[in-house]
Amino acid sequence: MSLLEVKNVYKTYGSGAAVLQDVNFSIGKKQCLGLVGESGCGKSTLARCLLSIEPIDRGSIVLHNIPLHNKSERSLRPYRRHIQAVLQNPSAALNPKLKIIDSLMDPYLQFGEQTELKHFCYRNKQDFASQLLEAVELPAELAGRYPHELSGGQKQRVTIARAISIEPAIIILDEPTSSLDVLSQAAVLRLLDGLREQLGISYLFISHDLAAVHMMSQHMMVMRDGVIVDQFDKEELFAADRHPYTQELISMFE
């Protein structure tokens, strides 16, 4: 059974042309669905619609059989914790005035307190921060630092720790490694892959990096001008009958 079902989603900004057109896909539990496409094709718009930051014009977004699309902020609140995000720029995601420990607490204080956690256990702030930092393979002493005292890779691990702290069903990963150097990119991708298995989280992994998406995902889809033109299991990426646009993207990577 699918965890997230997206059906016939359309999205326009103002009176402009449609940015998303008839988008359909589903993601199962513990699965990673990869989304590739060129800059400007609508990937981040889709992410914002899934996170209910942007309303959709038509269609449906259903998580755990609960429709999320175009709900009021108040009626969305009980479901927000189930769908979290890790975005491109960790520096923008962390408040520079807050120590890491306080940034880590933020989602739990917003959404977690009334919820029983399965993998983490809240006894006190310090202990909770240590568990989260350990999960993302960072030393506990980083809790007392400010974001500017961390490397880019460490900051992105902190944003991942924050996203998993309330044990969401799914995390939208929108270009999560594009601001990192090549070595940190590979390490963060490995970490994310391990956490998916360990915590049973699903991902929508959005990137223009076909190789990274292929490595991380069980299923893949290709977007062009707001339309999903191709969807397939990762083993089928190099199949002869791939959509011509997918083949074009592959040739850019070879």
Ligand X SMILES: Nc1ncnc2c1ncn2[C@@H]1O[C@H](COP(=O)(O)OP(=O)(O)OP(=O)(O)O)[C@@H](O)[C@H]1O
Catalog residues that contact ligand X under the rule CB under 6 A.
13, 19, 37, 39-45, 208
Which residue, chain included where needed, has tokens 């496409």?
A: 37
- Outline where the chain has alpha helix (H): 43-50, 73-80, 90-93, 100-107, 125-135, 152-164, 182-199, 210-216, 244-253
| 66-67 vs 58-63, strand pairing mode | antiparallel
Residue 53 CB, nearest distance to ligand X (Å)? Answer: 10
Q: Which residue, 129 or 210, has its beta carbon nearer to ligand X? A: 210
Q: Is the Cβ of residue 50 or residue 129 nearer to ligand X in the bound state? A: 50
For the purposes of burial, counting CB atoms within 10 Å of the CB of 208, is it exposed (0-12), middle (13-18) or buried (19 or more)? middle
Nearer to ligand X, 23 or 135 (CB): 23
State in angstroms the smallest separation of the CB of 179 from ligand X.
12
Range 184-200 burial, b when 16+ CB lie within 10 A, else e: bbebbbebbbebbeebe
Minimum distance, C-beta of residue 20 to ligand X, in the bound complex (Å): 8
Residue 48: CB minimum distance to ligand X, A: 8
Residue 211 beta carbon to ligand X: minimum distance, rounded to whole angstroms: 16
Instruction: Give the distance, in angstroms, between the CA of residue 139 and the centroid of all CA atoms in the same chain.
Output: 24
Of 75, 139, 78, 151, nearest in space to 112 by CA: 78
Cβ contact 56:8 at 8 Å: no
CB atoms inside a 10 Å sphere around CB 17 = 9
Q: To the nearest whole angstrom, how small is the minimum distance from the Cβ of residue 225 to ligand X?
A: 9
Closer of 19 and 104 to ligand X (Cβ): 19
Q: How far is the CB of 144 from ligand X (least distance, A)?
A: 34
Token reading at 155: 């900051």
Beta bridge partners of 11: 20
Nearer to ligand X, 55 or 194 (CB): 55
Of the pair 167, 175, the CB lying nearest ligand X is at: 175
| Residue (167 or 174) nearer to ligand X, CB | 174
- Number of neighbours of residue 162 by Cβ within 10 angstroms: 23
